[in-house]
Structure 1
C-alpha cells in the first residue's frame, strides 16, 4: 500500500466515516436530501521530501451549480464545487504551500494533528450542505472570493436563490448580471430554473 493510502486509511477515513461520508478511493462524499453534496478529496502532490505529501480539498456542490456546469451534458467539465477550500497545515510558515501536508508515516504527532483538525473542520463543511447556511456564507463580505467558483458574488447568490422561485431580490440580481454578456448563459439558466421550480 502506498504511504498516502495508509494516511487516508488511518488518519482521514475514520473521521469521515464517523460523519456519514461514503468513500471511493481517496475521495469522500456526503449527499443532502435536496441533492447537494459535500466532498473531501485527498490528492497527492509529491516533493520527494516525506513519505506522504498531499492536499486535502473540500467542496460543496449544490445541485443547481452541478446542473449549470453540466448544462451541455459534459459531466467532466465541472469544477469541484460552488464552494471550495483546502485544509491548512497549522503553524506552517510558507504561505505558498501552507495547505501542503508532508510527513513520514512514523510521524504520529503530525498524523494525529491531521485527524484532529479534520474532526474540527468537518462539522462546518456539513453545515454548508444546508442551502441557507451556504447562501449566508456566500453573501458574507468577509468570505474570500477564491473560495467561490462563480463570480461575482452576486452570480453565486442568484444561482443559489434560483430553486426558491421568483423573488424581488433574485430579479434584481439577474437584471444586474444581464447587463454583462459574460453572464448570458448563467442568466438564461437561472431564468429557466426559476420557471421550473415554480411549476414543480
Structure 2
C-alpha cells in the first residue's frame, strides 16, 4: 500500500489538487457549487508479486440523489456524501503501456500497474490521463444536465448505476416544473412503490425550497 500511496502522491496528487480536489487516503473529492460531489478513488489489487496493481474509478454523487438515498436520516441529519451514493461511475482505463494485462477484457483491462522499472513512465501516463481526460470529464458530469445526457446515452460501457427514468426524476427534481415532474412520474408503473415515494419526496423537497 505504501508503494501505491507514494506513487499517487507523486503523480496523481499534484494534478488533482491543482484541479480543486481534496485528498483523503487514496481518494480525492471535489465539490461543485450545486452541492454535487465527485470522487476519484484508487484501489489496490494484491494479485502480482512483482507489480503494484491498482484500479482507478470516478464516482458522481449529485446532492438530490444523496438526499433521496438518505431520506430516512433527514430528521437526525444526512451523513456526509461518499462514493457509495454514486448515481454514475466510470473506470479510468489505462493505456496499454500502463496496463497490467493490456490484452485482457472486462475488469482486468482497467487495472493499472507499475514496477520499479516502469514507475516513472506509468506515473507520467497517469498524470497525463488525469489532466487531459479524467478531470475535464468529471467537471463536465458535475453539471446535472450533462450528467443526465450521459446517463441517457446508449454508449457502452454505461456510466449509470440506476434506471434512466428514475435518475431523471431525482436529478431534475429542482429544475423541472410540477407539470414536467408529474409527466415523468406518470411513466412509472402505478404498482411501483417508487411512484408514491418519489411524489412525496419531490413535494417535500419543493416545499422546503419554497
Query: Which interval holds the TM-score relative to the shorter structure?
Result: 0.7 to 0.9
CA gap 1:89/1:141 in 2 versus in 1, 3 angstroms: same
What is aligned with 2:149? Answer: 136
Look up the SS of the partner of 1:163 in the other structure. Answer: coil
Aligned pairs, number: 196
Kept after mapping to 2: 8 A contact 1:60/1:82: yes
| More displaced stretch, 71-80 vs 56-65 | 71-80
Residue of 75, 80, 87 corresponding to 1:82: 87
2:115 to 104, 110, 123: 104
Q: Given the alignment, which residue of 136, 139, 143 partners 1:123?
A: 136
Contact kept? 2:61, 2:82, Cα under 8 Å: no
Instruction: Name the residue aligned to 1:171.
Output: 182
> What does 1:1-200 align with in structure 2 at a 5 Å threshold?
2-73=2-73, 75=79, 79-91=84-96, 92-96=102-106, 97-107=108-118, 108-120=120-132, 121-142=134-155, 144-145=157-158, 147-151=159-163, 153-181=164-192, 183-184=194-195, 185-197=197-209, 199=210
**C-alpha contact 1:3 1:105 (8 A) present in aligned 2:** no
Q: Bigger CA drift: 95-104 or 167-176?
A: 167-176
Contiguous gaps of at least 5 residues in structure 2: 97-101
Following TM superposition, by how much is the alpha carbon of 1:192 offset from its aligned partner in structure 2, in angstroms?
A: 2.9
Compared CA separation, residues 78 and 7, structure 1 to 2 (3 A): closer
- Name the TM-score, length of structure 1 as normaliser: 0.86
Aligned residues of 1:177 and 1:187 also touching (Cα < 8 A): no
Distance (whole Å) between structure 2 residues aligned to residue 188 and residue 48 of structure 1: 51
Q: Deviations over 1:48-78 (max 9, x none)?
A: 2434211111011110011111122374997
- Partners of 1:160 and 1:37 lie apart in 2 by 13
Gap change, CA 1:191 and 1:38, over 3 Å in 2:
same
Q: Equivalent residue of 1:124, what SS?
A: helix
